[in-house]
Structure 1
Amino acid sequence: MTLHPKIAEALASMPAPPPGPPDPQVLRAAEEAEVVLPEERLPLSKVEDVKAGDVPVRVYTPEEADGVLVYFHGGAFFLGGLETHDHVARSLAKETGRQVVSVGYRRAPEAAYPAGLQDCYAAVRWAVENLAVEGKTLALAGDSSGGTFAAAVAAMAHDDGFDRITHQILYYPSLDLDFDVDRYASLRENAEGYGLETAGLKPFNAFYLQSGADPADPLVSPMKRKDLTGLPPALIVTAEHDPLRDEGELYGLRLKDAGVDVTVSRYEGAGHGFVQHFSWIPEYHRVFGETREFLNRR
C-alpha cells in the first residue's frame, strides 16, 4: 500500500530540515510550537501534574479508571515531553479506560545515560506504591524511543523479580541502535520519503549514544537481549513505511519463540510516528482501540 494520502500531503508541506547536525534546542522549540492549547485538549475526569519521587509525571484519570498504564513518550531520547505528547496520553486514558501516567524523564544530551531509563523505571515503581494497581492492569507503553524504554523497563523489572507489570505496548519501537543499513530490509526499503529517514537515525540518536548509551547493551538495544523468556505479554505496533518496521516485527517473533504472548500489528500506509502525528486519521486512531482490546483480553 502506498503512503496514506493525508500523510503524504502533510509531509510534502513540511519545510526542509536546516543543514548541519540536529540542534536539540531548535527542534524542541519547533515541536513545542505545535502543542495544542489547554482549552482545546480532550477533556478527562482529572489531569494532574505530580512528582514520582524526583521525576515529573502527569496523571490522567478517565471516568471509572480500571488499572494503570505508564507511558513513555518518544523523540529519539532528546525530544518530546509531557506537553508534546499530552494528546497521546489523553487518548490512551479515554480509549483504554486506564489511568495513564506520562513520564517526563530526563533527556539527552543534558542528562547522560542511564538517567532517562532510570526515571522511567522509578515512575513505574512509584505507580505501584501510590496508585490503585493491586490485582489490576499495570501496563507499560511507549512510542519510538519510548518503546525502547518500555521494553528495557520490562526487562529490568523481570531481572529484579518485580513481577507486577502485566503488559508491554510498543508503538513502532526503536529496538536496535546498531544502524547498519543491512541489518533490516526496511532500513533500505523505507530509507527516504516517509518522514523518518534511515540517514537520520544516527545523527538523531547521537545525543543518546554519545551520553554513554552503548548499542550493544540490551538495555539500550533490547533486541540484543539473549533470553526473552518471562517478559510480559506484548502488543507491538509497526508502520508499513517505517525504517524501524522490521526490527519491531523481529522482536515480536523472538518474544513468541521465547513463549511470550505477542500480538504484532502492522498499520498499512503509515510511517514512523503516526500515533503522535496522525492518530486523528480514523484508520490510525483505531490503534487506541486495539490497545484497549489487548489490555482487556488478558
Structure 2
Amino acid sequence: MASKSTAGATSDRPVPTTMTTNLHPAVAAYLADSAAMGLRPYVDLAPADARTQFASVMAARLGADHQPRPMAEVVDRTAAVDGRDIPLRLYRPSTSTANRPVMPTVVFFHGGGWVIGDLDTHDALCRRIADGLPAVVVAVDYCRAPEAPFPAPVEDAAAATRWVAAHVAELGGDPDALVVAGDSAGAAMATVVARRARDTGTPRLAAQLLLYPVTDLTMSHASYVEMGTGYGLTAETMAWFIDHYAGPVEDPDASPMAAEDLAGLPAAVVTTADLDPLRDEGDAYARRLADAGVPTVHHRHGGLIHAYALMETVPIAMEAIADDLSALRGVLAA
C-alpha cells in the first residue's frame, strides 16, 4: 500500500521505496464517477461558484443516507484573537484510552488551495481523525482567497492555534500533546504555524500531521508534469489556486520549502500520494525535515491520488489515512 520511512536526528533521511504508478481500481472508479458528474473545471468558475461546486460534490460523494461518525460532542466555537473572530468547530470523540485520559488536541486546517473548502467539506475527515487517534480536534475556518489573499489565511491559522493552546484545558485536551495538522493547502499552513511556534517559543507543539502538503509554489517539480492531468487535481487547477492566493513563491510562509532552517521543528508525519502533482514537493519536504534532524515519518501511498483522505467511500483510501493516524499515535507516544 505505502512505502514508509522513519527518520530522526541520528537516522538517514527518508527515501521512499519506488512505488507503482498504477492507479488503484477503486480510485479509477472514483475518478470515473467524478467525470460522469459533468463538473466544470475550477479554472472556469468564479471562486464563490467553485466553493459551491466543491461543497456539492463532497455532499454527493457521501450520499443522502450518510450518517456522520458519532462523536461525544461537535460544537461550533469562535476564537476571538488579534481583533478578529475566527470560526472553529470542536470535535470530541466518544473513544478514549486508559493510558491517556486527557487526549491530544489537533488543530486542523482544511485543504482547498486557500480558495475552496470549509468546515463542512472536511467534517468527515475531522471526525475520522478525532475517533482514530483519539483526540480533540479543533477545525479552523480561516479566511480564504481571493477575498483574503496571502498572508491572511496563514495569520488566521497561527492566531487560532495560539487561542487553542491558551484554552486547551478548557477544551479537554492535553497541553503536552498539541498537534497542528492539515491537508494540502491546510498542511502548508500547518508547516508555517509549526515554524513560527519554534521561532517564538510558543505555543509548544508535540507534532505536525501533513497530509499531501503544498510546500513549493514554483510548481517546478517533475510530478507536476507526470501527474498534472488525469488524476483529479491538475497542474492547471493548482496554478489557479496559487494565482488567487497570490503568495510570493520566495516567502517561506507561502512556500515552506523556501525556509532556510527546519531544525527544531516538532516531529512530523508527512504523507504523499503516488499519483499526485504535489507528490515530489511533499517527498522533498519530508527529506528536508529529516535532514534537519526532525523525527519524521513519511508515508508515500501507492495507487492513490491527491485528497485521498477525503475519499470516504474508497476503502483503500481510508486504509491509508488509518495508517497515517497510526503513525501519529506512535509519534505522540514516543
Cα displacement (A) at 1:288 = 3.0
**Per the alignment, do residues 109 and 259 of structure 1 end up closer, same or farther by CA in structure 2, a change over 3 Å counting?**
same
* Structure 1 partner of 2:49: 26
Residues 297, 327 of structure 2: 8 Å contact kept: no
Q: Distance in 2 between matches of 1:199 and 1:114?
A: 22
Aligned to 2:28: 8
Equivalent position of 2:86 in the other structure: 55
- Tell me whether 1:85 sits opposite 2:122 in the alignment: yes
The residue that corresponds to 1:76 in the other structure is 113
**Matched residue type, 2:87:** P
Pick aligned residue for 2:158 from 110, 117, 121: 121
Tell me the equivalent position of 2:143: 106
Q: CA deviation at 1:253?
A: 0.7
Report how far residue 293 of structure 1 moved.
3.5
Q: 1:12, CA displacement in angstroms?
A: 2.1
Structure 1 residues 55, 66: closer, same or farther in 2, change over 3 A? Answer: same
Q: Secondary structure at the match of 1:137?
A: strand
The alignment's TM-score, normalised by the length of structure 2, stands at 0.82
Flag the 1:66–1:252 CA change in 2: closer, same or farther, 3 A: same
Which AA in structure 1 matches 2:282? G
Partner of 1:146: 186
For residues 19 and 264 of structure 1, the distance between their equivalents in structure 2, rounded to whole angstroms, comes to: 30
- Structure 2: how far apart are the matches of 1:83 and 1:113? 23
Q: Pick closer, same or farther for the CA change 1:203–1:20 going to 2, 3 Å.
A: closer
Residue pair 2:150, 2:254 contacting (<8 A) in 1 also: no
Report the 3-state secondary structure (helix = DSSP H, G, I; strand = E; otherwise coil) of the residue aligned with 2:103: coil
**Percent same amino acid among aligned pairs?**
36
**Which one-letter code corresponds to 1:60 in the other structure?**
Y
Q: Deviations over 1:189-225 (max 9, x none)?
A: 112211111232212221101xxx2111001000000
Structure 1: gaps of 5 or more residues: none
SS at match of 1:40: coil
User: In the alignment, is the contact (CA less than 8 A) between 1:22 and 1:203 conserved in 2?
Assistant: no
Q: Which runs of 5+ in 2 are unaligned?
A: 1-19, 97-101
- Partner in structure 1 of residue 245 of structure 2: 208
Aligned to 2:228: 191
Q: How many Å separate the matches in 1 of 2:322 and 2:140?
A: 19
Q: Could you tell me how far apart the structure 1 residues matched to 2:184 and 2:324 are?
A: 18
Distance 2:282 2:41 in 1: 30
Per-residue deviation, 1:92? 0.4
Indicate which of 268, 284, 288 corresponds to 2:317: 284
Mapped contact 2:109–2:181 kept (Cα < 8 A): yes
State the partner residue of 1:265. Answer: 299
Structure 2 letter corresponding to 1:29: T
Contact 1:232 1:260 in 2 (8 A): yes
Cα distance per residue 1:50-104 (max 9 Å; x no partner)? 0011110000001335110010000000100011110010000000110000000
Stretch moving more, 128-137 or 77-86: 128-137
Structure 1 equivalent of residue 198 of structure 2:
158
Whose RCO is larger (CA < 8 A, sep 6+)? 2
Q: Measure the CA separation in 2 of the matches of 1:120 and 1:196.
A: 24
> TM-score normalised to the size of structure 1?
0.92
Count of residues paired in the alignment: 291
Quick one: which of 144, 159, 176 aligns to 1:136?
Answer: 176
Instruction: Compute the RMSD of aligned alpha carbons.
Output: 1.9
CA pair 121-38 structure 1, distance change in 2 beyond 3 A: farther
Are the equivalent residues in 1 in contact too, given 2:191–2:208 (CA < 8 A)? yes
Q: Which string of whole-angstrom CA distances, capped at 9 and with x for unpartnered residues, describes residues 31-54 of structure 1? A: 222335797211100001000111
- For 1:38 and 1:282, locate their aligned partners in 2 and report how far apart those are by CA, in whole Å: 18
